[in-house]
Amino acid sequence: MNPERVTSLSLLERARQHDEPSWRRLVTLYGPLVEYWCRRGGAHPEDAADLAQEVFLAVSQGLERFERRGPGSFRGWVRGITRHKLLDYYRRAEGKAAAAGGSTALQRLHEIPDPQPGSDEDADEMSGLYRRALDLIRGEFEQRTWQAFWLTAVEGWEAPAAAAQLGMSAVAVRIAKSRVLARLRAEAEGLID
């Protein structure tokens, strides 16, 4: 991939172009959430990581065909793939032994609703995605730029207070915050919303 285009494309677009570092970043971003969905869907904790790998294999195979259809559509698409992989998981379990839990677990999966937009669960999922996205881009900024962003955007400090703490001007603090937020928006475009 042309290195000049890397920063102008979202993570989703770079992953679609089979950029290996971008694919790893995508898995880092969504991996914990997919594993959570697998455990919540009734998969044994020791099976959740394997199921997540199956999910990401399916995501990689379908990523070029994915069409964004509004806010939350990528997360919903990945959640749908996860549900299908959980169904496969239960079918395999039922096939191995028609023993305890198979059909009950499958029924449990069908009873788990998707989080409603604006609900606490939805907010927790979004918060986790944003935290991981911030971790992915943190190394792209100087320490003081990051601290200015963190104090104002995350901890809620006013720019003058953050400026006094960091030995910067309030304008420099606002610029730092703006730069980090712009980079976060560019990286997460189409993946988190």
Give tens-digit pLDDT for 6-63.
Answer: 445 688 888 988 899 999 999 999 999 999 999 988 888 889 999 999 999 999 999 9
Instruction: Let me know the angle formed at the C-alpha of 39 by 34 and 40, rounded to the nearest 5 degrees.
Output: 95
What is the dihedral sign for C-alpha 131, 121, 105, 45? Answer: positive
In a domain, 40, yes or no: yes
In a domain, 53, yes or no: yes
In a domain, 187, yes or no: no
Q: Is residue 189 part of a domain?
A: no
Domain tally for the chain?
A: 1
Contact 185, 167 (CB under 8 A): no
* Predicted pLDDT of residue 7: 44
Domain assignment present for residue 157? The answer is no
Say what the pLDDT of residue 2 is.
40
Which segment, 96-100, 116-120, 134-138, is predicted with the most confidence on average?
Answer: 134-138
Q: Which long-range contacts (CB under 8 A, 24 or more apart) does 13-22 make?
A: 13/190, 15/63, 16/63, 16/64
d(CA 100, CA 94) in angstroms, rounded, equals 9
pTM of the predicted structure, to 2 decimals: 0.78
**What is the rounded distance in angstroms from the CA atom of residue 57 to the CA atom of residue 63?**
10
- pLDDT digit string, tens, across residues 159-186: 999 999 999 999 999 999 999 999 999 8
Burial class for 163, CB neighbours closer than 10 Å (0-12, 13-18, 19+): buried
CATH number at residue 17: 1.10.1740.10
**Domain membership flag for residue 185:** no
Cα–Cα distance measured from residue 13 to residue 55, given in angstroms and rounded to the nearest whole number: 19
Range of the domain at 26: 3-114
Q: Of 95, 82, 78, 76, nearest to 43 (Cα)? A: 82
**C-alpha to C-alpha distances, 174 to 7, 16, 85, 136, 181, nearest whole angstrom:** 22, 33, 45, 21, 11
HSE of 158, CA atoms in CB hemisphere, 13 A: 2
Could you give the angle at the alpha carbon of 172 between the alpha carbons of 169 and 178, nearest 5°? Answer: 145
169 part of a folded domain: no
With respect to residue 79, please indicate whether it lies within any of the assigned structural domains: yes
